[in-house]
Structure 1
Amino acid sequence: MSFGSPNQPYGQPHDPQQGYGYPQQGQPAYPQQQPGQPGYGYPQAPQGVPQQGGYGYPQQQPGYPGGPGAPRVASMGRRFGARLIDGVAFGIIYTVLVVIGVAGSFNAAKDCDPSAADYNTCINDASSGIMNSVFSMIMIFALIGLLYEWLMVGLVGATLGKMAVGLRVVKADTGQKPGMGSAFIRWIIPIVGSLACGIGQLLVYLSPFWDKSGRQQGWHDKAAGTMVVQH
């Protein structure tokens, strides 16, 4: 059995310039990829499926907040309006609590008999009761303020005042709800500032005016990594 002539031992036409069985010069060794076809070994993403970022995560909008579709930074006017609404609501609650406590102490003072030998002692006890009632109301008011601001911002993202004017507090880098940790930091910084005769608290609430990042973050927002946006 012969596999070819002596000059063609493998039964293939021989070209001294090309070699045995290889494409001729000037022709590609592999089929050329047509425009619009996927590359070899890499499946093409289906039509209509949004492009993904690295490792299967959606590609993040650059520059949040302020990118396409990002919410607007809250104006200082709206923030002041939200604080005013919350302050009025708290003022009403505080007044009611103090009136209830003081009224009970005054009723105790009325029961003191001026003709009794222990009248002065009775009056002193009633006065002490008034002071204790006022102090207790302050502590209760502070506790309500803590739970109100902390829980509402951490869980909902807004107090009632912020809801009324269309504001919400979000994480500055993701736009999600602050969470309990960030909400507590955001709440405690103005409270600590209020210990200096309220001057520190006022400066904290005015600090967004001096923020040059374009987000109008106060010192408490920067510490908590939050910002206030409007719908």
Structure 2
Amino acid sequence: MSFGSPNNPYGQPQNPQQPGYGYPQQGQPYPQQGQQQPGYGYPQAPGVPPQQGYGYPQQPGYPGGGPGPRVASMGRRFGARAIDSVVFGIIYTALAAVGVAGAFASANDCDPNAVDYNTCINNAGSDIAAKFGAVIGVLGIIGLLYELVMIAAFGATLGKLAVGIRVVKVDTGQKPGLGSAFIRWVIPTVGSLACGIGALLVYLSPFWDKSGRQQGWHDKAASTMVIQN
């Protein structure tokens, strides 16, 4: 009984076509340059696209892969600020007119022939100053609510809506929310206390931003940016 040749002591048939790892078998050519070598691991199932690599694929759009949002131009921003200023100017004028009319009405009630005429006039002047202070306080509250509610809920004030821009969070592209909206409001508001110079510098600060997002100081503090719709 023969157990096979010395090179095949168990008598099992050799399969010269069986693929393996390492160097190609005798008689098989080496893959030419540019030809794709078969990979290791499990074969790809039919109909399943080959994997491109490790990690999660980039998602198109903002804020993942693909084109990012269009940064709003400074011209549009100043246009939005001008529109909002006109809106506030109308509100301020209306409130001031009501307050001044009431104060002058009190002054007209003073009798020039009365002994206490000077006292009456002084009281009327104090009334005018108090009503102007009330107008400024009311206007500040309206400005706070206007900025907070509009930016938090819509990402834009009336001026921004008119020129087609809005405020978004840098990391998500979503609406800023109340916290970020408050930060964006309070920084230029505090700056305006220095004769308006601080607020002007805040609104001009996007010109000095080197990130490519044209963020103002208030945007950097709030982690927001202004984009074009």
Q: TM-score surpassing 0.5? A: yes
**Distance in 2, Cα, partners of 1:219 & 1:156:** 21
Q: Is there any run of 5+ residues in structure 2 with no aligned partner, and where?
A: 21-40, 50-54
Q: Does 1:27 align with 2:25?
A: no
d(CA) in 2 for partners of 1:149 and 1:211?
23
- How far is the alpha carbon of 1:186 from its aligned partner? 1.1
What are the within-5 Å matches in structure 2 for residues 59-74 of structure 1? Answer: 59-61=58-60, 64=63, 68-74=66-72
Equivalent residue number for residue 197 of structure 2:
199
The partner residue of 2:75 within 77, 91, 95 is: 77
Match for residue 165 of structure 2? 167
| Identical pairs, percent | 63
**Contact 1:154–1:179 (CA<8 Å) still a contact in 2?**
yes
1:86 pairs with one of 84, 87, 96: 84
The residue correspondences of 1:34-183 to structure 2 (distance < 5 A) are: 40=42, 54=56, 59-61=58-60, 64=63, 68-183=66-181
Distance 1:119 1:163 in 2: 53
Amino acid at match of 1:132: A
* Aligned mates of 1:22, 1:187 — CA distance in 2: 84
Q: CA deviation at 1:19?
A: 6.9
Q: What is the Cα deviation at residue 86 of structure 1?
A: 0.3
What residue identity is the alignment partner of 1:184? F
Secondary structure (helix, strand or coil) at the match of 2:167 reads strand
Aligned to 2:225: 227
Q: Secondary structure at the match of 2:202?
A: helix
Q: Equivalents in 2 of 1:22, 1:68: separation in Å?
A: 57
Moved more, 120-129 or 140-149: 120-129
Q: In the aligned structure 1, how far is the partner of 2:47 from the partner of 2:179? A: 40
TM-score when normalising by structure 1: 0.77
1:69-117 residue CA offsets vs partner (Å, 9 max, x unmatched):
4331111111110000000010010010011011111111111122222
Other structure's SS at 2:104 match: helix
Q: Distance in 2 between matches of 1:76 and 1:15?
A: 88
List runs of 5+ in structure 1 lacking aligned partners.
9-13, 30-38, 48-52
Distance (Å, rounded) in 1 between the aligned partners of 2:13 and 2:194? 89
* Matches of 1:19 and 1:144, distance apart in 2: 97
Of the structure 1 ranges 105-114 and 67-76, higher mean CA displacement relative to structure 2 is found in 67-76
Return closer, same or farther for 1:216/1:24 CA change in 2, 3 Å cut-off.
same
Per the TM alignment, residue 151 of structure 1 is displaced from its structure 2 partner at its CA by: 1.4
Return the alpha-carbon distance in structure 2 between the equivalents of residues 22 and 186 of structure 1.
Answer: 81
Matching residue of 1:11? none
Structure 1 residues 87 and 23: CA distance shift in structure 2, 3 A: farther
TM-score calculated relative to the size of structure 2 = 0.78
Distance between the aligned counterparts of 1:101 and 1:169, measured in 2?
35
Amino acid at match of 1:59: Q
Q: How many angstroms apart in 1 are the aligned matches of 2:149 and 2:13?
A: 76
